[in-house]
C-alpha cells in the first residue's frame, strides 16, 4: 500500500473496523451523500453482519484512490469497492459499490427500498455527530 498516504490508509481501516463493529454511524461518517446512494443501490437489503475485513486492492485514480475491501461473514464474503478523495472534511468516499460475482443474485426493488431507509438513518445520525 505504498501509494496511499498514512492518513488515507488509517481512514480506510477505521471505516472497515466500524463495519466489523456494526457501528453504522462510524462507517457512514466517511461517506458523501453520493457514496451512500451508490452503496445503497448495490446492496440487497440490510448488509450482513461481518467478522473481519481485508484490503485486497488499492490503486490511485488521478487525485482519488480506489480500494477493494473484502468483508467476511461466517459462510461467505463480499467485496466493496470505494473511491476515496481528499475533501475539506478529510478523506471521504465519493462512490462505493458491492462487487458481484457472475451468477450471484443482485438486489431487487424491495431490498433497495430497505437499504434506502437505513441509509437515511445513517445520514441523519452523521449530521447529529
What SS3 class is residue 46?
Answer: coil
pLDDT tens per residue across all 129 residues of the chain:
445 699 999 999 999 999 999 999 999 999 999 999 899 888 767 778 899 999 999 999 999 999 999 999 888 899 999 999 999 999 999 999 999 765 555 544 444 454 555 556 655 655 555
Query: In this structure, are residues 55 and 67 in contact, taking their beta carbons and an 8 Å threshold?
Result: yes
Question: For residue 120, what pLDDT is reported?
Answer: 61
DSSP single-letter state for residue 94: E
Question: For residue 74, what pLDDT is reported?
Answer: 85
Determine phi and psi for 76, rounding to 5 degrees: -160, 170
Query: What span, in angstroms and rounded, lies between the C-alpha atoms of 85 and 53?
Result: 21
Question: For residue 103, what pLDDT is reported?
Answer: 52
Query: What span, in angstroms and rounded, lies between the C-alpha atoms of 59 and 76?
Result: 25
Amino acid at each position: 500500500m505504498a501509494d496511499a498516504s498514512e492518513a488515507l490508509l488509517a481512514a480506510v481501516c477505521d471505516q472497515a473496523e466500524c463495519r466489523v463493529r456494526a457501528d453504522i454511524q462510524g462507517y457512514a461518517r466517511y461517506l458523501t451523500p453520493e457514496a451512500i446512494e451508490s452503496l445503497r443501490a448495490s446492496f440487497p437489503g440490510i448488509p450482513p453482519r461481518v467478522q473481519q475485513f481485508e484490503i485486497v486492492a488499492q490503486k490511485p485514480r488521478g487525485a482519488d484512490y480506489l480500494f477493494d475491501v473484502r468483508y467476511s461473514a461466517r459462510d461467505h464474503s463480499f467485496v466493496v469497492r470505494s473511491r476515496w478523495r481528499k475533501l475539506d472534511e478529510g478523506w471521504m468516499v465519493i462512490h462505493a459499490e458491492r462487487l458481484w460475482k457472475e451468477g450471484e443474485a443482485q438486489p431487487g426493488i424491495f431490498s433497495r427500498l430497505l437499504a434506502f431507509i437505513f441509509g437515511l438513518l445513517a445520514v441523519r445520525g452523521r449530521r447529529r455527530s
